Amino acid sequence: MRVAILAHEGFPDRAKTAVGILRYADDEVVAVLDRTRAGERVRDHVSDVRGAPIVDGIDAVEEPIDALVVGIAPIGGGFDETWRPDVTGALERGADVVAGLHYFVGDDEEFARLADEHGAEIRDLRRPPDDLSVSDGTASEIDAEVVLTVGTDCSSGKMTTTFELAEAARERGVDAGVVPTGQTGIAIEDYGIAVDRVVSDFAAGAVERMVTERASEFDVLFVEGQGAVAHPAYSGVTTSVLHGAMPDRLVLCHVAGRDAVHGYEHVPISPPGEYAALYESLAEPVAPAEVVAGSLNTQRLDDDAAGQAIDDYADAVGAPATDPVRFDASELLPAVLGEE
Amino acid sequence: MRVAILAHEGFPDRAKTAVGILRYADDEVVAVLDRTRAGERVRDHVSDVRGAPIVDGIDAVEEPIDALVVGIAPIGGGFDETWRPDVTGALERGADVVAGLHYFVGDDEEFARLADEHGAEIRDLRRPPDDLSVSDGTASEIDAEVVLTVGTDCSSGKMTTTFELAEAARERGVDAGVVPTGQTGIAIEDYGIAVDRVVSDFAAGAVERMVTERASEFDVLFVEGQGAVAHPAYSGVTTSVLHGAMPDRLVLCHVAGRDAVHGYEHVPISPPGEYAALYESLAEPVAPAEVVAGSLNTQRLDDDAAGQAIDDYADAVGAPATDPVRFDASELLPAVLGEE
């Protein structure tokens, strides 16, 4: 699929979905829309992804596109009205619009009418299926190995680690699939349910459904975790993913140096070893799983400090660790695949 | 408020909401509707509640009523079409209809039209407010003591224990309020949010909002917990209540002899002491709280066995315990109010 990605005033640091698609999706990205960086190139900002021009709006995208993907999520998940000309422009070309906002683009009357007129589709990735139900507690019976990324905070690298591990496993010939649980992962895979948007009674059931579906397609599933189990706002979502997926093994993701919950600075983050033990305690009565590897985001450190931080983190977690973006996720595979 | 309670084919054992209202609400119950028990009396079945006749339908209720309350919840939470004449009959009298079903009675065209015509209101207790948001992580700052009931399973006595403790505290002169989180508690209090029906991202936020609101009215809040933290389907809701409420103290509720999760018999229930420790571990990094008391449902035991089971349970939990329905919740108050 040929896509343009909308990331106005956010690329690359506040455009997690845009960077995720550039890095992991099969789509061909023909342009990134960021009016503050028009004329620059994607590779000026993110080195390890496919190249593409940055333009100021949809009218500057000359190639045909199949879809415009909203690649940023403002705080609150609302629709920014300055994006309207880009969305209408895409729909008028007959291109689909794909968005993972809390606000559903498809519910906008103008957009819905344009989509109808031009034979385009609007896909709101966070819109839950309408036939969800409570979990049966059966994910542990599926015929695939399940590895879940868990974190010490939001934005601690769970989505990235999930995709890096899956890619590394595929390179080794493992039939590995991803179970995305958030909008970026869903945009990359064109599959998945945004678990945080599901009625809380059905959150574990939504994860169970995905794991069960994908187990019929893959030998190993990498499930994208959400939130953190000691996060004051999102721990319920985290717990639902843990108990809905019933993983065989856990990978603990952490940001080097982060010692308080992002946005909730009055809540300290427990030491990684204690955090790992808490996940294991919570998994144990439902479906036992151990933290077998650690993933550390060392983006803010230099090479020496990163190496030292990873060594310390591995000691704290009691398992092999790396930074899968800076270094190589394949180092973790023996532990993650249960070969050790 | 004068109410009739609909409980067809369910009174009393499968009519938790009906019994809860009879036992704890301020409403005057003029009749219970159960066509299989017409002509009997409420007190023939439940001894410790206010008396009322049981009748076969709304037309047999001769007294004026302010509302018809749906007092049973079929599996799945659907609306049973055999109830339609009772609901239409109530609305045609101008009585409100109050329901805690997953299915929203107010969305039914016939009911909505009748309510409109007769000046009646339909209140769907599980319909969440439309302005919920993520929690701020601030419930620990409120100016009230917060006691949360937690459980080893669904239907383990959390709602009952919450109301029994609040009543016992009020009898001692404590300015105690309840924070209901499920439909029965909401029906009793005419206040609250059904947390399991809230978008999972907002579940902790919904609890935080209620605790914060009620803290301005009461000195001590008894928060009704939901589910169980090792329940394969509902643990996310449980965790959201725990971290949203940030309680000072926990009361662990358990059903004597129950050793597997109800409806998920392949999932064993951990021993009560381990279960208590798991709740404390999960509370600790966000807002530390200890299990200070135990509540044991001994309904299926004789008096001798009940006494022994309570002693054993107190030993296992390491805290005073009782059956607050069979015996007296006030025994737990010193521990629950932090006086010990």
A220-248 pLDDT tens trace? 999 999 999 999 999 999 999 999 999 99
- Say whether residue B260 is in contact with chain A using an 8 A CB cutoff: no
Q: At CB < 8 A and 24+ separation, what contacts does A193-196 make? A: A193/A128, A193/A129, A193/A132, A194/A100, A194/A125, A194/A126, A194/A128, A195/A226, A195/A237, A195/A240, A195/A241, A195/B200, A196/A226, A196/A227, A196/A234, A196/A237, A196/B199, A196/B200, A196/B201
Q: How large a percentage of chain B has pLDDT more than 70?
A: 100
- Say whether residue A286 is in contact with chain B using an 8 A CB cutoff: yes
pLDDT, position A5? 97
**Cβ–Cβ gap B236/A281 under 8 Å:** no
Among A204, A230, A278, select the one facing B233 at the smallest CB separation. Answer: A204
Cis peptide before A53 (omega within 30 of 0): no
Residue A329 distance to chain B (closest CA, Å): 29
Residue A7 distance to chain B (closest CA, Å): 24
pLDDT in tens, A26-39: 999 999 999 999 99
Q: CA nearest A277 in B: which residue?
A: B281
Non-local CB neighbours of A109 within 8 Å, separated by 6+ positions: none
pLDDT, position B78? 86
pLDDT, position A235? 98
Return d(Cα A213, Cα A209) in angstroms, integer.
6
Return d(Cα B234, Cα A69) in angstroms, integer.
34
Structure tokens at A205: 């059931």
Which band of pLDDT confidence, cut at 50, 70 and 90, is reported for residue B48?
confident
pLDDT, position B179? 98
pLDDT of residue B217 exceeding 80: yes
pLDDT in tens, B23-47: 999 999 999 999 999 999 999 999 8
Residues 168-197 of B with CB under 8 A from A: 195-197
Average pLDDT of A67-72?
Answer: 96
Structure tokens at B77: 């939470």
Residue B201 distance to chain A (closest CA, Å): 5
Among B199, B234, B238, select the one facing A197 at the smallest CB separation. Answer: B199
Asked whether the domain spanning A139-336 has the same topology as the one spanning A2-124, the reply is yes
pLDDT, position B99? 95
Q: Which residues of A touch B285 (CB under 8 A)?
A: 230, 267-270, 274-275, 278
How does DSSP classify residue A78? P
Average pLDDT in chain B = 96
**Cβ–Cβ gap B201/A197 under 8 Å:** yes
Q: Which residues of A touch B247 (CB under 8 A)?
A: none
Domain boundaries, chain B: 2-124, 139-336
What is the residue whose two structure tokens read 């805290």?
Answer: B319
Average pLDDT of A261-283?
Answer: 97
pLDDT of residue B166 exceeding 80: yes
Chain A to chain B Cβ contacts (< 8 Å): 148
Q: Which CATH code fits B139-336?
A: 3.40.50.300
Which band of pLDDT confidence, cut at 50, 70 and 90, is reported for residue A340?
low
Cis peptide before B12 (omega within 30 of 0): yes
pLDDT of residue B302 exceeding 70: yes
Return d(Cα B57, Cα B147) in angstroms, integer.
40
- Say whether residue B229 is in contact with chain A using an 8 A CB cutoff: yes
Q: Which residues of B touch A278 (CB under 8 A)?
A: 281-282, 285
Q: Which residues of B touch A282 (CB under 8 A)?
A: 229-230, 235, 278, 282
Sheet holding A220-223, edge to edge: A176-179, A220-223, A145-151, A249-255, A290-297, A321-322
Question: By C-alpha distance, which of B198, B216, B190 is closest to B135?
Answer: B198
**Cβ–Cβ gap A232/B286 under 8 Å:** yes
Among B229, B243, B274, select the one facing A232 at the smallest CB separation. Answer: B243
Q: Which residues of B touch A242 (CB under 8 A)?
A: 235
How does DSSP classify residue A139? G
Among B137, B231, B274, select the one facing A267 at the smallest CB separation. Answer: B137
pLDDT, position A190? 87
Which band of pLDDT confidence, cut at 50, 70 and 90, is reported for residue B184?
very high
- Say whether residue A229 is in contact with chain B using an 8 A CB cutoff: yes
A126, A201, A274: which to substitute to probe chain B, counting the most B Cβ within 10 Å?
A201
**Cβ–Cβ gap B199/A201 under 8 Å:** no
Among B136, B230, B240, select the one facing A285 at the smallest CB separation. Answer: B230
Average pLDDT in chain A = 96
Q: How large a percentage of chain A has pLDDT more than 70?
A: 100
- Say whether residue B236 is in contact with chain A using an 8 A CB cutoff: yes
Which band of pLDDT confidence, cut at 50, 70 and 90, is reported for residue B111?
very high
Non-local CB neighbours of A267 within 8 Å, separated by 6+ positions: A230, A231, A232, A260, A261, B137, B285, B286
pLDDT, position B340? 67
pLDDT, position A48? 81
pLDDT of residue B136 exceeding 90: yes
Average pLDDT of A1-16?
Answer: 95
Average pLDDT of A155-179?
Answer: 97
Q: How large a percentage of chain B has pLDDT more than 90?
A: 94
pLDDT, position B284? 98
Non-local CB neighbours of A306 within 8 Å, separated by 6+ positions: A256, A298, A323, A326
- Say whether residue B238 is in contact with chain A using an 8 A CB cutoff: yes
pLDDT in tens, A111-131: 999 999 999 999 999 999 999
pLDDT, position B193? 97
pLDDT of residue A318 exceeding 80: yes
**Cβ–Cβ gap B199/A195 under 8 Å:** no
ipTM of the complex in this document: 0.93
Q: What share of chain B is helix, strand, coil (3-state, %, to 5)?
A: 40, 20, 45
Average pLDDT of B281-299?
Answer: 97
Q: Which residues of B touch A274 (CB under 8 A)?
A: 285
Please determine, looking at this structure, whether the domain spanning B2-124 carries the CATH number 3.40.50.720. yes
